[in-house]
Amino acid sequence: MATSQVIGKKARSRAPARFGARLKPEAKELLERAAALTGRSLTDFVLASAEEAALRTIREHELVRLTARDSKAFVAAFLENTKPNKRLRKAAGRYKATSSVKV
């Protein structure tokens, strides 16, 4: 029997969800051939491939992308030799006092 858990205001079942797709016969043959070459069932191959593509897509969109101008500004700010201000020195002191990490 499937149980459900409440996420936000929606109940979500822990049972496997179904997914269906219609495709051209040529596409199905291509997927079946690739699945056979990897020793997987068609379903396993399609699900694993879709999950890999989804994770890759999400990772690519979560990356910080900088323009050339932004990259130069970041490097310039990073390399700039400025002295820490009073707030930063105070924060560093609190960190040293409460942290077991020796800086």
Q: What amino acid is encoded at 58 in this protein? A: I
Confidence category of residue 10, pLDDT binned at 50, 70, 90: low
- Secondary structure of residue 32 in the 3-state scheme: helix
Write down the domain spans for the chain.
Answer: 23-98
pTM, entire model: 0.51
Per-residue pLDDT of 43-79, as tens digits, reads 999 999 999 999 999 998 888 777 888 889 989 988 9
Give the per-residue pLDDT at 100. 81
The pLDDT mean for the chain works out to 87
Q: Looking at the predicted structure, is the pLDDT value of residue 1 above 50?
A: no
End-to-end CA distance of the chain: 55
Give the per-residue pLDDT at 62. 85
